[in-house]
Amino acid sequence: MAKLPGMILDPQSPLFLKWGYLPRALPWLSQFIRNGEESKVRHIAAGLATLIGDSVEQHKALATTSSAAGFISAGDYTYLYQNQAAFDNDAWGLALRQEHGSDNTRLSRSDLIERDPNLADRYAVGGLFSDHGWIQNPGRYLAALCDDFLANDGEFWQTEVQDIIPAENGIEVQSQGESRRYDKIILSTGVWSTQLAERLGHKVALESERGYHLHLRGTNITPPNPYMCTDAKMAVTPMDDGVRCAGLVEFAGLKAGSNPKATDMLERSIKKLYPNIRWQEVDYWLGHRPSTTDSLPLLGHSPRNRQVVFAFGLHHIGLTAGPKTGGIAADLIMGRPRSEDLTPYRVGRFD
Ligand SMILES: Cc1cc2nc3c(=O)[nH]c(=O)nc-3n(C[C@H](O)[C@H](O)[C@H](O)COP(=O)(O)OP(=O)(O)OC[C@H]3O[C@@H](n4cnc5c(N)ncnc54)[C@H](O)[C@@H]3O)c2cc1C
């Protein structure tokens, strides 16, 4: 909290705010900040741990019958710190993760260099999480999962849904010039879920925490496992076709174009991690993380309409939490019991 004003004003900080957007973002931001109290953060951490604690296993189980399994890598995840003070500053967060089963081992500079000789002097201390994983190519991974779904008699209809209307024993899904009727639906349209949720009478405080990535192809250096550069708030991940550098948070809404200052910052940050890195091609991407004010998703039946299950609001961790979230949504729609406590994700809590 104390760091926030400085971060917003500092042009070198990984937090960006479009000042003209501030009046619109303010109600969301003030609620979000209130949820930064320790007791609330503990509640949020427990709720998220349920969804991501066994993520690697969940992904493996989901992908077991498809070629998607080939995109899952299991391994370490290393947080990088500039010095011992920065590592010590993170002690509270590391301890909280440990309480939820994610152990962290301190790595010295020589440990880091032994694992990755290309690493810049900038990083003196590491925090190693083992039993992690990453997806080498999220686009192809999802395409392979979709192929598996179709091979199991799933159907795919790609359209822009304009309205969802409760009907007798079902829901009418309306898109341009076409309307289809379903017994039940799962509403899972990321940050764009607000308007469709409103059609069912629910208020949902969702904001886009905009983020960026650089995907570098043809690099001369590949990290041995994913890194989190804690100063730059940038994750660096080895992919099947290069290196992905992702991160930053920008509040500017859904309509603003991408901000070149953000991608420049990622480019500077990767050079601070690997001063000798070179690449042949680069792709830039702006994405919208669907974030609730209490950092917990909406996952469960709509209390206003039992035919609809909500599954959105997974901010920075939608890929990590995807299999468990999807499994819960599928069971709810099929009327199968779940053992997890789903009350933290209760639909209707913002109404
Ligand atoms: C830079 C960046 C890096 C990230 N890195 C990670 C990471 O390392 N690990 C991780 O777990 N997560 C990461 N995330 C977060 C992750 O991308 C999100 O949490 C995730 O995409 C949310 O999934 P979703 O399906 O809820 O929403 P989305 O991925 O936004 O998907 C929503 C979909 O709904 C569609 N849609 C919207 N409205 C309609 C409509 N009316 N009709 C039909 N379709 C509609 C959209 O077109 C879209 O395809 C990152 C995000 C960013 C921006």
CATH number for 93: 3.30.9.10
Is 60 inside any structural domain? yes
pLDDT in tens, 28-63: 999 999 999 999 999 999 999 999 999 999 999 999
Residue 69 Cβ inside 6 Å of ligand 1? The answer reads no
Kindly give the interhelix angle for 91-99 and 38-52, rounded to the nearest 10 degrees. 50
From CA 211, how far away is CA 14, in angstroms rounded? 10
Shared domain check, 276 and 211: yes
pLDDT on residue 164: 96
Residue 314 Cβ inside 6 Å of ligand 1? The answer reads yes
Which of the listed residues 243, 270, 289 is the one where a domain comes to its end? 289
- pLDDT-derived band at 168, boundaries 50, 70, 90: confident
Closest CA to 293 of 204, 220, 219, 214: 204
Which of the listed residues 289, 307, 330 is the one where a domain comes to its end? 289
Shared domain check, 63 and 184: no
Domain CATH for 332? 3.50.50.60
Asked if 236 contacts 214 with a C-beta cutoff of 8 angstroms, the reply is no
Domain count, the chain: 2
Residue 189 Cβ inside 6 Å of ligand 1? The answer reads yes
Shared domain check, 174 and 119: no
Give 319 Cα–ligand 1 centroid separation in angstroms.
8
Adjacency order of strands within the sheet including 161-167 = 161-167, 170-175, 178-182
Is 199 inside any structural domain? yes
Shared domain check, 277 and 219: yes
**Is the pLDDT at 5 greater than 90, yes or no?**
no
Question: How crowded is residue 108: how many other Cβ atoms within 10 Å of its Cβ?
Answer: 12
Test site for ligand 1: of 157, 291, 314, 324, most ligand atoms within 8 A of the Cβ = 314
Is 20 inside any structural domain? no
Shared domain check, 229 and 215: yes
Is 144 inside any structural domain? no
Asked if 342 contacts 44 with a C-beta cutoff of 8 angstroms, the reply is no
Shared domain check, 331 and 277: no
Shared domain check, 217 and 198: no
In whole numbers, what is the pLDDT of the chain averaged over residues?
Answer: 96
Give 307 Cα–ligand 1 centroid separation in angstroms.
23
Q: What domain range is 186 assigned to? A: 161-205+295-345
Shared domain check, 264 and 165: no
From CA 234, how far away is CA 227, in angstroms rounded? 8
Residue 319 Cβ inside 6 Å of ligand 1? The answer reads yes
The pTM assigned to this predicted structure is 0.96
Residue 244 Cβ inside 6 Å of ligand 1? The answer reads no
Residue type, 176: Q
Residue 187 Cβ inside 6 Å of ligand 1? The answer reads no
pLDDT in tens, 194-218: 999 999 999 998 999 999 999 999 9
Asked if 251 contacts 288 with a C-beta cutoff of 8 angstroms, the reply is no
- pLDDT-derived band at 106, boundaries 50, 70, 90: very high
List, in sequence order, every beta strand (DSSP E) within the chain.
Answer: 15-17, 72-81, 104-107, 125-135, 161-167, 170-175, 178-182, 185-187, 206-217, 227-229, 234-239, 242-251, 281-292, 298-302, 305-312
Is 335 inside any structural domain? yes
Is 10 inside any structural domain? no
Shared domain check, 85 and 171: no
DSSP-derived letter for residue 123 is: -
Give 208 Cα–ligand 1 centroid separation in angstroms.
10
Residue 289 Cβ inside 6 Å of ligand 1? The answer reads yes
Contact residues for 334 (Cβ-Cβ < 8 A; gap 6+): none
Shared domain check, 197 and 60: no
Residue 317 Cβ inside 6 Å of ligand 1? The answer reads yes
Shared domain check, 310 and 335: yes
Which of the listed residues 289, 307, 324 is the one where a domain comes to its end? 289
Shared domain check, 260 and 285: yes
Residue 138 Cβ inside 6 Å of ligand 1? The answer reads no
Give 83 Cα–ligand 1 centroid separation in angstroms.
34
Is 249 inside any structural domain? yes
φ/ψ bin of 216: left (φ > 0), alpha (ψ from -120 to 50), beta (otherwise)? beta
Is 271 inside any structural domain? yes
Strand partners of residue 228 = 79, 235
Give 222 Cα–ligand 1 centroid separation in angstroms.
26
Residue 132 Cβ inside 6 Å of ligand 1? The answer reads no
